[in-house]
Amino acid sequence: MNGSSTTARTPDIDLAPLLSAIEEERLGVRAVHVHRAGTRESEDVVHRRVEDTIEQVYSISKTVTALAVGIARAEGLLDLDDLLVDHLEGISDLPREALGEGVERIRLRHLITMTSGSPVLMFEEAERMDPDPAALYLGTDLVREPGAQFEYSNGGVYMLGRVVAARAGISLRDYLMPRLFEPLGILNPQWFTDRGGSTWAATGLNLRSGEVARIGRLLLDRGRWTGADDVRGVDADAVSPDSDVSDASADASSASADSPQLVPEAWIDALHSDHAWVETGDADPENVQYGFGVWRCTPEGAWRADGAYGQFIVVLPQQEAVITVTSRHEGSPSQEILRALWRHVVPQL
């Protein structure tokens, strides 16, 4: 590894074999965090090859949007069985008669599981730069019945973000600031927007690797934030005065204040429940099932948030641990990073 790299380790978790594999296989990993349940952030096993600067996390954005959906659901703003067309107010002025064939049958559940049947995937530049991406999505005929087949898509998650924003009356990013980001000590998350100013939702979130690791810790702890002490002091003064979560300066003896339930526990469970998984048809064993914004992993019970070029939050409930990886991997499939984790880190947990 180069001279700027730093590694913290504990006696029972040694990252050296993983780091050797990363170097030998040219996996492009920039940071690794290993967090065990019941420990503090300062006890995490951490390796950083480069300074912890803000970087795009790509489709980990989808998992964060799924968390927003769960929070909005708990607040009574939406339900997964709602029809998309019942949430058009504040999203698009497209008249009902201009909707694409079959669009009226899309439910929010289809958007979060990527089974909407829409061909508007929003990967192409022309789609991303459309002056009204929502109207493009809503006005395009479906190519298959909603729920019939998985197709990886930015479009459906973008629309989910638009629904949350419309129901909340503020942007997706601003909706999540007091509810998720600020309690985690993520005080200035950058998130790309479309030409109209709407959060992209499916991609474009920019975070530091340590901030991604805090999201991982939240997922491991089933939506409860147990790290208030880790972000207290440095971050407390920057928390928005109208935040509706516990004040970061609350007494440490108060479990409810120091461990707020930021995302409903049942929703975290639902992300990767048997009812959530859909078959993707992918040949890679790490990609065969997709849930509510997360992928199923081959180790028993494991699941992950997954972004392009090797961004991962791997939740390992049986090992009571979470591994976060940020990378710039452009060679072999990024799942090779996962397989390196299975060989060199998971057996130590």
pLDDT tens, residue by residue, 148-160: 999 999 999 999 9
pLDDT in tens, 60-69: 999 999 999 9
pLDDT at site 230: 78
pLDDT in tens, 158-213: 999 999 999 999 999 999 999 999 999 999 999 999 999 999 999 999 999 999 99
Closest CA to 189 of 214, 216, 211, 164: 211
Average pLDDT over residues 114-137: 92
Phi, psi of 135 (to 5 degrees): -65, -35
What percentage of the chain carries pLDDT values higher than 90? 81
Residue 6: pLDDT band (50, 70, 90) is: low
Residue 256: pLDDT band (50, 70, 90) is: low
Q: pTM for this structure?
A: 0.90
Helix then strand count (H, E) for the chain reads 12, 12
Longest dimension (CA), the chain: 65
Is residue 167 left, alpha or beta, with left meaning phi > 0 and alpha meaning psi from -120 to 50?
A: alpha
pLDDT at site 63: 99
Where would I find the H helices in 199-289?
Answer: 209-220, 228-231, 255-258, 265-271
Can you tell me the distance from the alpha carbon of 219 to that of 321, in angstroms, rounded to the nearest whole number? Answer: 10
Residues facing residue 205 across a β-bridge? 191
SS3 of 146-194: the string is CCCCCCCCCHHHHHHHHHHHHHHCCCHHHHHHHHHHCCCCCCCCEECEC
Q: Are 201 and 157 spatial neighbours (Cβ–Cβ below 8 Å)?
A: yes
pLDDT in tens, 21-77: 999 999 999 999 999 999 999 999 999 988 888 999 999 999 999 999 999 999 999
Burial degree of 278 (CB within 10 A; 0-12, 13-18, 19+): middle
Q: Residue 268 in 3-state DSSP?
A: helix
Q: Which residues of 260-272 are buried (b: 16+ CB within 10 A; e: fewer)?
A: bebbbeebbebbb
